[in-house]
Amino acid sequence: MDYLKEKQEAIDAGYRALASLREARSHISSAKGFGVWDLLGGGTFVSVFKHLKIDKARRALDNARYDLQAFSRELRDIRMDLNINIGDFLTVFDLMDNFFADIVVQSRLSDAGRKIDDAIRSVEDCLNRLR
């Protein structure tokens, strides 16, 4: 096994995971922005845009899960470990378009954002150790 080659493969996988996490974070932030408008009575269109951003965040999180798994596999090749579970913390519901449902959605978006931030920091720390 060529350690330097394996190490570079891990670094590349880490950067892909980081990009996916940052994309998800961006969509979460945008959804939160639309959520604030929604709380202030933004109406149907604002609610639709918020949910479009949430859907984009879900897709980015799916990509991030895949990229984090690939990063973990590459790290195992060089005897390192990464234990990040981004899980399914973007379970957001907004069955009724009312103030209380919107508050719950905002709370879940905030929680998801914090967990993504933690995952980003973990990947960045791991990449710093690899360099």
The predicted pLDDT at position 108 comes to 87
pLDDT of 56 higher than 70: yes
| Residues whose CB falls within 8 Å of the CB of residue 52, separated by 6 or more in sequence, listed in order | none
Nearest to 102 by CA among 59, 43, 57: 43
Give the domain extent around 31.
3-130
Nearest to 4 by CA among 127, 131, 92, 110: 131
Cα separation, 127 vs 16, in Å, equals 11
Residue pair 100/56 in contact (Cβ under 8 Å)? The answer is: no
Percent of the chain exceeding pLDDT 70 equals 89
pLDDT of 25 higher than 90: yes
pLDDT of 26 higher than 60: yes
Residue pair 23/59 in contact (Cβ under 8 Å)? The answer is: no
131 — pLDDT class (breaks 50, 70, 90): confident
The pLDDT of 59-79, averaged and rounded, is 92
pLDDT, tens only, 99-113: 787 888 898 889 889
- Secondary structure of residue 91 in the 3-state scheme: coil
11 — pLDDT class (breaks 50, 70, 90): very high
Domain count, the chain: 1
CB atoms within 10 A of CB 110: 13
The predicted pLDDT at position 75 comes to 93
Please state, rounded to an integer, the average pLDDT across all residues of the chain: 87
* Helix then strand then coil, % of the chain, to nearest 5: 80, 0, 20
Taking the complete model, does pTM exceed 0.85, yes or no? yes
